[in-house]
Structure 1
Amino acid sequence: MAAKQVTKKTQKNTSDTIIDAYMKQVMESEMFPKSIYKFCKEHNFSEKEFYDSFASFDGIQKEIWNSFFTNSMQLVQKSKGYDSLTNKEKMLTFFYTFFEILTANRSYVLFVLKEHKEIMKNLVQLKGLRKYVKGFASELIAEANEEKSLSFLKQSETVFSEGAWIQTLFLLKFWMDDDSPAFENTDVAIEKSVRAIFDVFETQPLESLLDFGKFLWKEKMA
């Protein structure tokens, strides 16, 4: 058992080293590495070490986005009073933290999301992130549904989780285009979008959606 734990820890350290080397090379050269052999040689690790962690460069890109999510959740869950927050506050806290991490890696994120002219090709790397975000949203709704005794008052986990993912994509695009100081407008968009998506499942969705729509119109037309 101890040997297996050491092996997993060593592999995790190697994976992190590979990820760091990949991100650094992409940002410094403004190009994606094309040869795994050359990439490994330049960064002093073997191809075996690479393939023990990743099957391809695409796998690295996907894992980077996965780590953005997992690191965000670790920070959020460690924050004081997290367990006592409402579901809306938990999602709000997650998005604030997630975009803080993206901002810390903004140069990399902007570069990889603009690699292809066809936006769908750029979104392939977000496949794992989509799964994580939808899972998190589903957990929030499942918790809320447990408190409701009448079935017709319970909310759809499928609809809500898909809405949360669409919201994530919208916020990501908004953040990419945001030129406000310290990305203040993104913070406003996060607050309004989280309130809107939760209010859709509550009793007064229209006012929230109109407020959110007015904000988007103002920002896009300014």
Structure 2
Amino acid sequence: MAKSKKSIIDLYMNWMLEHGSAPENIYIFCKENKMEESDFYAEYASFKAVEKAVFSAFFQKTLEMLHANEAYQSYAPKEQLLSFYFTFFELLTANRSYVLQALPSTPKELDKLGKLQDLRINFKAYAKEVFAQYISTDVKNLEKLKAQTFQETAWAQLLFIMRFWAKDESPSFEKTDIFIEKAINATFELADNPPLKSVIDLGKFLYKEAIS
């Protein structure tokens, strides 16, 4: 019987945590997990594909949890995005050992990381949908420009918060929660064009935490 995507993802994550590195090859991985290679290839072409699927699965699970909450649909766009961030980082925290092992330590590497390619595509589409509810202009070109800018800003912001979370040593990662709120407030005020207060507030927080 072929393994489901979730099963292969779980097996791969467990392997990485137990061995500290990826399997030498797919044959060994399948043999150790008592599965046929054909079952693996029916779902994924390589370990790189599995690694992409891990972070994509975090995204999909986040959406499932959000949509399971009936109140979510009635939230304003900013509250929807805040709910996404908090839920997404709860899932990352539940899998923190794997995530810290999978992600590099520098922001330059993080931005180029192929493992996040599918997450990037999915998250930008989600951010576009959320922001579409927020745009209040009737000027089409401006609306398109603001939507594109928001998507890129939101993705860069998510990467930066992931880096912050990876270094956060506060109880229950409370500093990450504070950072998320300040970052979202600043982003939406930038969209409205009177950004000064939230941007300064965010800047003070980042300076205090001395992000390098």
| TM-score, scaled relative to structure 2 | 0.92
Q: Contact 1:66/1:128 (CA < 8 Å) preserved in 2? A: yes
8 Å contact from structure 2 (residues 9, 54) kept in 1 = yes
**Equivalent-residue separation in structure 2 for 1:15 and 1:116 (angstroms):** 30
Q: Which has the higher contact order (CA 8 A, sep 6+)?
A: 2
One-letter code aligned to 1:68: F
Residue of 28, 31, 42 corresponding to 2:18: 28
Equivalent in 116, 120, 125 of residue 115 of structure 2: 125
The count of aligned residue pairs is 209
CA, structure 1 residues 116+44, in 2 after alignment: closer, same or farther (shift >3 Å)?
A: farther
TM-score w.r.t. the length of structure 1 is: 0.88
Query: What is the one-letter code of the residue matched to 2:183?
Result: S
SS of 1:156's partner is helix
Q: What is the CA deviation profile of residues 140-171 of structure 1, one whole-angstrom value per residue up to 9, with x for unaligned ones?
A: 122223xx463277462110000000000000
2:67 counterpart (28, 52, 77):
77
Quote how far apart the aligned CAs of 1:32 are: 1.2
Contact 1:115 1:122 in 2 (8 A): no
- Indicate whether 1:108 and 2:98 are aligned: yes
Q: Distance in 2 between matches of 1:121 and 1:206?
A: 27
Identify unmatched segments of 5+ residues in structure 2.
none
Dislocated runs of 4+, deviation >2 Å = 114-118, 152-155
Per the alignment, do residues 59 and 80 of structure 1 end up closer, same or farther by CA in structure 2, a change over 3 Å counting?
Answer: same
- Relative to structure 1, the CA distance from residue 206 to residue 116 in structure 2 (aligned partners, 3 Å threshold; closer, same or farther) is closer
Alpha-carbon offset, residue 99 of structure 1: 0.1
Q: Which runs of 5+ in 1 are unaligned?
A: 1-9
SS class of match (1:101):
helix
Q: Deviations over 1:66-87 (max 9, x none)?
A: 0000000110111131111000
RMSD of Structure 2 on Structure 1 (CA): 2.2
